[in-house]
């Protein structure tokens, strides 16, 4: 069945690392945008905004369309910084950051759309969640 999860984790409004990584990718994107006003990275911005909208707003109501658009948008975020025309205008560290954050987002969207086991989800399910809950509990207890 496509997609594997009709609604990601039963609720698209939950914190998903797809959204977290795409929001984090806005930081290097906006730095490049500010430094090179004539060479705005529109493709990456459209991929990020399209991915956030399709995952968070469309997927729950129209699963096939939402999953497909989320995958396409994520591919755009990963592949757009590799364009040779951008090599002269994007500092390498910003291109690498956007690509790595896009790959982190791909971990979540591939798991929800295809049902493939992915590294970040595996760590989360095998003790990562407990560590995060304990850490936040310790912080809240200290405050």
Segment 7-64, tens digit of pLDDT:
887 777 778 899 999 999 999 999 988 877 777 889 999 999 999 999 999 999 999 9
Instruction: For residues 51 and 96, give the distance between their C-alpha atoms in angstroms, rounded to a whole number.
Output: 19
Do residues 16 and 108 touch, judged by C-beta distance below 8 A?
A: yes
In sign, the C-alpha dihedral spanning 75, 72, 3, 17 is positive
pTM: 0.88
Cis check: omega of the bond before 84, within 30 degrees of 0: no
pLDDT of residue 83: 87
User: pLDDT tens digits, residue range 79-136?
Assistant: 999 988 777 778 899 999 999 999 999 999 999 999 999 999 889 889 988 998 899 8
Provide the 3-class DSSP secondary structure of residue 116.
coil
Beta-carbon-side half-sphere exposure of residue 112 (alpha carbons within 13 Å): 28
Compute the CA torsion angle 99, 105, 131, 137 (nearest 10 deg): 110
**Structure token digits, residue 121:** 């989800």
Q: Rounded to whole angstroms, what are the CA distances from 41 to 22, 25, 82?
A: 15, 12, 12
Report d(CA 27, CA 115) in Å as an integer. Answer: 29
Contacts of 65 (CB under 8 A, 6+ apart): 54, 58
């Amino acid at each position: 069945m496509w997609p594997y999860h009709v609604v990601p984790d039963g609720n698209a409004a939950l914190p998903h690392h797809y959204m977290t990584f795409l929001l984090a990718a806005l930081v290097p994107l906006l730095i490049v945008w500010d430094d090179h006003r004539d060479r705005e990275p529109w493709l990456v911005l459209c991929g990020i905004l399209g991915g956030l909208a399709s995952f968070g707003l469309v997927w729950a109501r129209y699963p096939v369309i939402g999953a497909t658009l989320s995958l396409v948008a994520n591919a755009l975020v990963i592949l757009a910084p590799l364009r040779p025309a951008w090599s002269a205008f994007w500092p390498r560290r910003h291109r690498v950051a956007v690509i790595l954050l896009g790959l982190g987002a791909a971990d979540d969207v591939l798991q929800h759309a295809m049902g493939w086991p992915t590294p970040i989800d595996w760590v989360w399910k095998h003790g990562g969640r407990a560590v995060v809950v304990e850490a936040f509990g310790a912080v809240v207890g200290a405050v």
